[in-house]
């Protein structure tokens, strides 16, 4: 157990709490079948996620004004539908497919682990998703957040310090009273720079069976766990 305990724990969400890749592949494959739309859905999902960081970086660098992740996702989707030459995709289909990011399933340990943590700590997502995306996901998947920290509250994407420090400010806590839980060493490194406590657990199949990144802790994080259940145990729950 760390010698100090946080008051609030916020979690990266895509990959850390929910399995975006498997969820989207299953969701879109079923939808494509029902709508008779032919596409290589796994390849589309991987390309869509690959467009994620570059699209946010254009906002972070000031090359485009503040844009919610839903709208970045939609712009990337439209481009990929054209690039992949997918035929017969209506506007209603695009809206439905884009909202696939609201219909992601949690990893098996996420709900039981978060439920345990919620009994002692304030818990919430700290995600690049917008509030409506994260809230719809929580209702869909049954994630018991106390509060939703979407990037549209700050008009900044991670790893801008305004996100990590913005959470502490809204909670009226010092950064050191807030812990970030994440399956991504880079996110934790930025949080640590801002003074937050840190917890790492790997999600070795987030990017599919051949994942190389983030398979283990790359710093001496305050907690290194196997998953959110183990994290709760290490916090004395």
Residue numbers at the binding site for a second copy (CB under 8 A): 70, 122, 130-132, 135, 138-139, 145-148, 150, 152-153, 170-173
Residue 43 vs 95, nearer CB to a second copy:
95
Residue 138 vs 183, nearer CB to a second copy:
138
Residue 152 vs 206, nearer CB to a second copy:
152
CB of 112 to a second copy, least distance (A): 18
Alpha helix locations (H) across 51-130? 52-60, 69-84, 91-98, 110-118
CB of 207 to a second copy, least distance (A): 28
Strand order in the sheet with 223-224: 122-125, 8-11, 178-182, 197-200, 223-224
Contact 227, 11 (CB under 8 A): no
CB of 73 to a second copy, least distance (A): 13
Angle at 177 between CA 2 and CA 126, to 5 degrees: 105
Q: How far apart are CA 206 and CA 213, in angstroms?
A: 10
Residue 42 vs 195, nearer CB to a second copy:
195
Contact 198, 221 (CB under 8 A): yes
CB of 150 to a second copy, least distance (A): 8
3-class state of residue 52 by DSSP = helix
Tokens 């398979």 belong to residue: 215
Q: Tokens standing for 168?
A: 């502490």
Residue 7 vs 26, nearer CB to a second copy:
7
- Maximal CA-CA distance, the chain: 58
Contacts of 58 (CB under 8 A, 6+ apart): 64
CB of 135 to a second copy, least distance (A): 6
Contact 187, 221 (CB under 8 A): no
3-class state of residue 92 by DSSP = helix
CB of 87 to a second copy, least distance (A): 29
CB of 212 to a second copy, least distance (A): 36
């Amino acid at each position: 157990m760390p010698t100090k305990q946080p008051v609030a724990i916020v979690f990266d969400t895509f990959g850390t709490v929910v399995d975006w890749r498997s969820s989207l592949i299953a969701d879109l494959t079923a939808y494509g079948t029902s709508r008779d739309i032919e596409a290589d859905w796994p390849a589309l999902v991987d390309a869509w996620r690959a467009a994620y960081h570059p699209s946010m970086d254009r906002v972070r660098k000031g090359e485009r004004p503040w844009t919610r992740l839903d709208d970045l996702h939609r712009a990337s989707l439209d481009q990929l539908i054209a690039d992949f030459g997918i035929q017969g995709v209506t506007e209603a289909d695009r809206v439905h497919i884009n909202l696939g990011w609201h219909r992601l399933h949690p990893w098996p340990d996420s709900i039981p682990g978060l439920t345990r943590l919620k009994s002692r700590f304030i818990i919430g997502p700290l995600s690049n998703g917008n509030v409506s995306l994260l809230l719809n996901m929580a209702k869909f998947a049954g994630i018991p957040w106390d509060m939703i920290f979407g990037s549209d509250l700050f008009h900044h994407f991670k790893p801008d310090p305004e996100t990590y420090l913005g959470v502490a400010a809204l909670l009226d806590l010092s950064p050191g009273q807030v812990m970030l839980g994440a399956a991504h060493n880079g996110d934790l490194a930025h949080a640590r720079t801002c003074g937050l406590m840190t917890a790492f657990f790997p999600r070795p199949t987030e990017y599919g069976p051949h994942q190389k990144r983030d398979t283990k802790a790359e710093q001496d994080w305050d907690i290194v766990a196997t998953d959110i259940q183990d994290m709760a145990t290490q916090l004395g729950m």
